[in-house]
Structure 1
């Protein structure tokens, strides 16, 4: 019997259905404009952009012009791509524009749907970012959908790795910018390490559309983006510890596969202590003494590398390098590295060259990065299972968009076998039968290892097939395009975010491009195109008659979304299709998280060899196991965000201060305030309030004055009557420091002095922010121990982090005062030290605790005597500008260009910098 809720749903539809239905009125208004827009000439259609911009400038809102803008985009798509937006795509476009997530099934045209909301929001002139999951899709979509935008007079940019800042700046200045989540995030972090607005590449955030939003905002959000720099080489330590770990036996440690952790037993600990002590690594005899923290850290990572992380599943080794494999896509993550020493431990395990570790310079989580956009929309084929997380974290509603054609795919119950061998025999038999009746089949596996094992099975059976995994990344698009042809057998490691549709009968456009690429336009090409079109159509009908694409899953993934993404490859646009998963008790998901006792009883209840069982209980048990993993992963992401929120508040303060410093015409007031506060703190430390002069530590105050303020005065000789009140001491020191600084600043032009002050402020802020990040990382590693004292670790972290941040600001103040007080100007620019590399990194989503550094290597500014960073040549140039005029031949302008530094005064005695005078000629 239906409850009231069920009855109401049957009568009135779900809230999602009612919401989608309410958008029908807007769709009707768009469709009503179609005859009028279709009648426009190409030039008139292009003129729609200026017309709509003018309406916005006159006071209309984006919602007011939405129907006409959408109708304009639909007509432009018809004329450029030959594709007309369906009504359901219009609904999805409205959802995106409203800052919500549109869940559309695979093959329904999400990429084209996004053009509606992107064009509308780009009319405001503030820029729109389209975020994709990989560089291939960013470049492909920018070129493909860019045809629509460019036809309508919009500019399109694309951000890919290894392009220079000028190209990035130009791309961000475009109306629409395509790129990956990593590139957008790293550019934000890099911009906040620059030393002038002119060096920054991004504009203020406006609107972003995230493709495969569940992959970007859920899966990859388990780990933050990190920019890091190299530290000391510890290769020998990794090799020694790895050799010791390889001597351990399974009885020496306990493995927790759920948490991906390994813990030594008592016997294992004793064995490790003896081995490490013999190697000279251990101080004393106890492994867990404070002095052996580094040794324990290396030991733990070596254990995880050898016991938990598996070759050809978590990583592959090629070209003497360990390359991470993305758990969700099966792709190689070239250049990315696990951090905290894990990648080095894996390199030691595999005997390849060990790269040095890295130190964090800047970091941000995807959650906090994408929450900076005033408006954010997303699209994917699978978001409903994480709808509550999307709302909790990002305040995004998930709207399920109906399909253009009714779904014809049959999702049959899972088949369950006693062990993996029987399961694979059944899979091979099914593949052979499907191939024999010309039904294309897509086989989904969860790892490269299992892809290749199944491939070996099929080779023995004589079944032709292709394998799509990290080893054949380059052939990916070609393999996916052919997966829908008659009798095709394709084994795929994962199908999440592949970005290419599997079309029954093959991909017509891909065949034309591949087979007729060099054939010029003309009757011969037209005939060939017609022939290919007829062949594809005939093959499509034959595949439909054979039952459409058969999706066969060899294992359940830990996330229901990944299973749904695999299933979604079949049954696009009303095509027939079939999906089924084959499982066994040996599968990782069930072995680690499943209800083994109940399943084991079912298995042993008179089940014959090779016989499968199909039962709703099994599906329920699998779903329960998947929900456990999803809940655990959500907890990991939520905890990451809670801790990063603490840092995020501090990051905002630091980045806002940097922006204020760069934008200010002068920072003299800030420097004076810092100097005054430093003097006040100095006097309060050595001459405490409400104390007698006899209790003051005048000698230490005198030393502090000389080391911090560099003043040539002797405080110890001041008359006692003049030092009765600490305020008198403060006033005297402030007056002396101000006079000394005024004398120093008078030696250089005012604009140069401003630049010097800015550089010192920025370098001190950056240096201490970097140190603060390292301290917070260390604090985060140990704060959980406070739970043993009945304290909440998160609250303790907030309290400690706040105190550390306040101390950091005080240290910045002192450093700026000391550096400016001690600064000496020299005649020529000093030789700059070599600049170290830094690495952009994103923690690997395989675990919730390990980083996956990125590949783009960039140069850091040089380190100065205080260990702080300066923009290359900035301080040196500022100092050079204070020098006397360089002596050169007044008649030889060529010598001026060779000999005079760009920031030095021009030899013509104009008083201007050389680069602004004769150097500009």
Structure 2
């Protein structure tokens, strides 16, 4: 270790070595500053055109970097009055190189992005800037859009509620801002469209991900899913839910670390008996293959009752179960747990049970962002996850130095035996800061805990009891500790004084429900004496400035009709007031960040810490912990015994670097577990991703081709070969052939009685000869159909049917893969790797998908009836689409607003229609629009007696 330290001093760290050549380029950029400053506004736009032309003429972006960065710096000075610091130029270079720039809070990441964005936008292929929420996407697009506008570039923004035309226009801009969910779902929706001109995205050239750790780590545990409703199973959920309270504690085992539950042997027998009595069990055993669905529902009901807690994991409001995000404490309207877990919670809480959804399209964030030719990111906290970024995304992390030295003091953790003692200490620390006028940001891990702390700060009785307890502790001190006694008496007197007030400590509680309010509250959290309680991730993307935010206060002070002179006057008044308030806050010690417990991830704790000490400001951070905290209870092995051995007394705490290190070790365990979970999800999605790419590329090929008759002919010929191979096996005798079976299948597919039986009787005829004759005959049938319908019409019909059948079969394939993934882990009990087993099974299912595609397309084309518009048959019913990112630990549901608004429906041909969200009608046999999703093998709702796929489900 000593040698490593010496080498580091001589040669610098690996980070220093990476940044050294970049700082040399900063000198070249600075040398161009005076020359670029002489350009007029029109000259800056001309400079952009000149750089674009040089790129077209063969110069690389690296060769244009110095001039481009100098140009952006000048544009920012004119548009925003902000000049990029040298370290910001380095950050821009790291982003351009396709890496992650770790920059502390307040170092101006939003401005840094403009450098790499502008340089890469010179290619004309579009640059995407991905943010964590709509508010930041809109704010940054408008704010940084001024810089791009100064340079003659266009800026678009993708937010909820835009129609396809507006989205297409936004993606056509040089730079497009939007959220991770919007970009991901647009990609999935594009691959459900029926023609190229309906698609909105124009490729994946270069993207910068803001708060990259939040998006590529926290939100990457589960995929984005577009889904449609399945059949209603409310009765089944209710019946199974009623059985769970009959189970005793010895009937199941809970693993809190994995958040899983399993039935014991006694529990299996008991639930089996209960299911038999309820008439839900078929066969003899719960684990008969016919009961696999029942086993799944029992497991989900157990989870809902024994692991998922009301007001912690979810809340019940307006006859709905709404998920609470584990990281942010936000309510996630519109998001639902998958695999029937949400329905199990609804049954438990006796609210209306919404039907389950079927996956129509899905992708993980990992695989979506790996579509980009070049990817970069920026955040304040990435080094703790450096290995994952390198492993999954091939991204290196570079730590960018701060513009000014960090003056923040990070104190050791304060550890208590009980949560009650911890909260007393927290309240006293907040009271002390409020008394001195020091702003405090209190970080909690959930809405429940933020509201509990808020109730304590509003409770007069609590402060009176706190004062009384403090006096008793002061009395117990020895005489030689008189100075400490005096301090405690003075503190008790202040606590008594707070206990007399109507609201002992005024404060803001930030529950992170609305991003705009978040931004306003967080921007004011630096005012002298301000107390702000927030979930650890709330308000991310907004700076806490000591004294307050000029822009935010000015926005609130402006009134309709204010002229320019009035606005200037108000700004000057606000700036003077904030300068005075900042001085007071600085004298009180800057921002005090107080965390009420450690989060599972060190990165989230570092984000909270990073709120303090912005741009060289002083500040303090401290974590208050107790043995009763979830992290300490589950992962802090042996910590309680250790504290008891130290002889810790009530209301006493321990502060020591060793304890801080022990907590960090517990966090590393959780981080590794979460990384393994994300990696496991990716392993399964990688299997599907190859298939997804093949299908999506095939769709684009179909859509971009004028005619698909060659493809249709190939499919028809391959189907003939497959049918013959199945009924007339090669190297078998003629008497072993299933000629009748072949004849029957050919009749079903082609609608014509082909003389296969006569050919088979011919002396010495081989299967290959029969194939040739069948291909010749089927080609004639296809030609006759085309002549009957009309060549041009037939070409359009072929394309529509091909896309329609491909989409239908792909959806059914995804549903089968979902079911397969939910049970494949059982193969592990047989010492087989579930991922390898999934690969094998998924490949077999994909081959089956292709076989079914050939058969369905050929059969439909052989039977298609084209009618005049006035006689046209009713359209195939559309599928209401729901976009979800269905895991409670992956971040906020950015799609909720879109689902509350009128949504799109995809029809059989892929065209988009508008329908009211949630509109439901009773099925009408004469109106297919009321049928909802009909399984292909189910009887057709029209009452014809045929299967749906052979009736209205065809075309």
TM over 0.5: yes
CA deviation after TM superposition for structure 1 residue 279, in Å: 2.9
State the match for 1:481 in structure 2.
Answer: 523
Report if aligned partners of 1:96, 1:209 keep a CA contact under 8 Å in 2: yes
Q: Could you say if the C-alpha distance between residues 605 and 158 of structure 1 is closer, same or farther in structure 2, counting changes exceeding 3 Å?
A: same
**Selected match of 2:711 from 670, 678, 681:** 670
For 1:608, what is the secondary structure of its paired residue?
Answer: coil
Report if aligned partners of 1:408, 1:575 keep a CA contact under 8 Å in 2: yes
Report if aligned partners of 1:337, 1:853 keep a CA contact under 8 Å in 2: no
Find out whether 1:504 has 2:504 as its counterpart. Answer: no
Report if aligned partners of 2:220, 2:364 keep a CA contact under 8 Å in 1: yes
Unaligned runs of 5+ in 1: 864-868, 874-921
Find out whether 1:168 has 2:167 as its counterpart. Answer: yes
CA deviation after TM superposition for structure 1 residue 641, in Å: 1.2
Which has the higher mean CA deviation after the structures are superposed, 754-763 or 416-425? 754-763
Which has the higher mean CA deviation after the structures are superposed, 107-116 or 237-246? 237-246
Find out whether 1:553 has 2:598 as its counterpart. Answer: no
**Selected match of 1:702 from 732, 738, 743:** 743
Q: Deviations over 1:27-52 (max 9, x none)?
A: 11111111111122222122221121
For 2:631, what is the secondary structure of its paired residue?
Answer: helix
**Selected match of 1:829 from 851, 872, 878:** 872
Distance 1:695 1:296 in 2: 43
Distance 2:894 2:262 in 1: 23
Find out whether 1:235 has 2:276 as its counterpart. Answer: no
Report if aligned partners of 1:481, 1:503 keep a CA contact under 8 Å in 2: yes
State the match for 2:889 in structure 1.
Answer: 846
Which has the higher mean CA deviation after the structures are superposed, 472-481 or 24-33? 472-481
Distance 1:807 1:695 in 2: 25
CA deviation after TM superposition for structure 1 residue 528, in Å: 2.3
State the match for 1:342 in structure 2.
Answer: 341
For 1:806, what is the secondary structure of its paired residue?
Answer: helix
State the match for 1:752 in structure 2.
Answer: 793
Find out whether 1:640 has 2:681 as its counterpart. Answer: yes
Report if aligned partners of 1:208, 1:377 keep a CA contact under 8 Å in 2: yes
Report if aligned partners of 1:339, 1:852 keep a CA contact under 8 Å in 2: no
CA deviation after TM superposition for structure 1 residue 847, in Å: 7.8
Report if aligned partners of 2:230, 2:358 keep a CA contact under 8 Å in 1: yes
For 1:746, what is the secondary structure of its paired residue?
Answer: helix
State the match for 1:891 in structure 2.
Answer: none
CA deviation after TM superposition for structure 1 residue 295, in Å: 2.1
For 1:490, what is the secondary structure of its paired residue?
Answer: strand
CA deviation after TM superposition for structure 1 residue 707, in Å: 0.7
CA deviation after TM superposition for structure 1 residue 78, in Å: 1.2
Pairing 1:429-828 to 2, within 5 Å after superposition: 429-460=428-459, 461=463, 462-470=504-512, 475-495=517-537, 498-518=540-560, 520-595=562-637, 597-718=638-759, 720-721=761-762, 724-827=765-868, 828=871
Q: Deviations over 1:702-732 (max 9, x none)?
A: 1111111222434334473277222232222
Figure out how many residues of one structure are paired with residues of the other and give that number.
865
Pairing 1:210-221 to 2, within 5 Å after superposition: 210-221=209-220
Q: Could you say if the C-alpha distance between residues 697 and 472 of structure 1 is closer, same or farther in structure 2, counting changes exceeding 3 Å?
A: closer
Pairing 1:45-56 to 2, within 5 Å after superposition: 45-56=44-55
CA deviation after TM superposition for structure 1 residue 473, in Å: 6.0
Report if aligned partners of 1:842, 1:854 keep a CA contact under 8 Å in 2: no
For 2:707, what is the secondary structure of its paired residue?
Answer: coil
State the match for 1:146 in structure 2.
Answer: 145
Distance 2:528 2:248 in 1: 51
Report if aligned partners of 2:328, 2:445 keep a CA contact under 8 Å in 1: no
Which has the higher mean CA deviation after the structures are superposed, 379-388 or 608-617? 608-617
Distance 2:527 2:445 in 1: 24
Report if aligned partners of 1:234, 1:356 keep a CA contact under 8 Å in 2: yes
Q: Could you say if the C-alpha distance between residues 125 and 473 of structure 1 is closer, same or farther in structure 2, counting changes exceeding 3 Å?
A: closer
The TM-score normalised by the length of structure 1 is 0.91
Unaligned runs of 5+ in 2: 464-503, 914-955
Distance 1:346 1:192 in 2: 33
Q: Deviations over 1:573-631 (max 9, x none)?
A: 00000000000100000111112x24422234321221111122211211111000000
Report if aligned partners of 2:904, 2:912 keep a CA contact under 8 Å in 1: no
Distance 1:766 1:472 in 2: 37
Distance 2:411 2:11 in 1: 29
Distance 2:340 2:895 in 1: 12
CA deviation after TM superposition for structure 1 residue 385, in Å: 0.4
Distance 2:838 2:332 in 1: 33
Distance 1:799 1:237 in 2: 33
CA deviation after TM superposition for structure 1 residue 179, in Å: 0.9
Distance 2:173 2:363 in 1: 25
For 2:152, what is the secondary structure of its paired residue?
Answer: coil
Q: Could you say if the C-alpha distance between residues 263 and 229 of structure 1 is closer, same or farther in structure 2, counting changes exceeding 3 Å?
A: same
State the match for 2:126 in structure 1.
Answer: 127
State the match for 1:899 in structure 2.
Answer: none
CA deviation after TM superposition for structure 1 residue 284, in Å: 4.8
Distance 1:485 1:127 in 2: 41
Distance 2:92 2:677 in 1: 32
Find out whether 1:380 has 2:379 as its counterpart. Answer: yes
Report if aligned partners of 1:142, 1:178 keep a CA contact under 8 Å in 2: yes
Distance 1:502 1:820 in 2: 64
State the match for 1:896 in structure 2.
Answer: none
Q: Could you say if the C-alpha distance between residues 703 and 854 of structure 1 is closer, same or farther in structure 2, counting changes exceeding 3 Å?
A: farther
State the match for 1:112 in structure 2.
Answer: 111
Q: Could you say if the C-alpha distance between residues 871 and 723 of structure 1 is closer, same or farther in structure 2, counting changes exceeding 3 Å?
A: farther
Distance 2:212 2:356 in 1: 31
Report if aligned partners of 1:837, 1:859 keep a CA contact under 8 Å in 2: yes
CA deviation after TM superposition for structure 1 residue 688, in Å: 2.2
State the match for 2:906 in structure 1.
Answer: 861
CA deviation after TM superposition for structure 1 residue 522, in Å: 4.1
CA deviation after TM superposition for structure 1 residue 144, in Å: 1.1
Distance 1:852 1:537 in 2: 37
Which has the higher mean CA deviation after the structures are superposed, 175-184 or 754-763? 754-763
Report if aligned partners of 2:417, 2:640 keep a CA contact under 8 Å in 1: no
Report if aligned partners of 1:224, 1:842 keep a CA contact under 8 Å in 2: yes
CA deviation after TM superposition for structure 1 residue 661, in Å: 0.9
Report if aligned partners of 2:228, 2:882 keep a CA contact under 8 Å in 1: yes
Q: Could you say if the C-alpha distance between residues 103 and 790 of structure 1 is closer, same or farther in structure 2, counting changes exceeding 3 Å?
A: same
CA deviation after TM superposition for structure 1 residue 85, in Å: 1.0
Q: Deviations over 1:144-175 (max 9, x none)?
A: 11111122211111111232111111111111
Q: Could you say if the C-alpha distance between residues 245 and 471 of structure 1 is closer, same or farther in structure 2, counting changes exceeding 3 Å?
A: farther
CA deviation after TM superposition for structure 1 residue 776, in Å: 1.8
Pairing 1:835-914 to 2, within 5 Å after superposition: 835-846=878-889, 856-857=898-899, 858-862=903-907, 871=911
Pairing 1:240-259 to 2, within 5 Å after superposition: 240-259=239-258
For 1:505, what is the secondary structure of its paired residue?
Answer: coil
CA deviation after TM superposition for structure 1 residue 17, in Å: 1.2
Distance 2:527 2:894 in 1: 37
RMSD over aligned CA atoms reads: 2.1
For 2:882, what is the secondary structure of its paired residue?
Answer: strand
Q: Deviations over 1:359-410 (max 9, x none)?
A: 1111111111111100000000000001111111111000000000100000
Distance 2:281 2:265 in 1: 17
Report if aligned partners of 2:593, 2:609 keep a CA contact under 8 Å in 1: yes
Distance 2:394 2:46 in 1: 36
Distance 1:810 1:608 in 2: 73
CA deviation after TM superposition for structure 1 residue 457, in Å: 1.1
Distance 2:388 2:439 in 1: 36
CA deviation after TM superposition for structure 1 residue 783, in Å: 2.1
State the match for 1:397 in structure 2.
Answer: 396
Distance 1:855 1:277 in 2: 44
CA deviation after TM superposition for structure 1 residue 791, in Å: 2.3
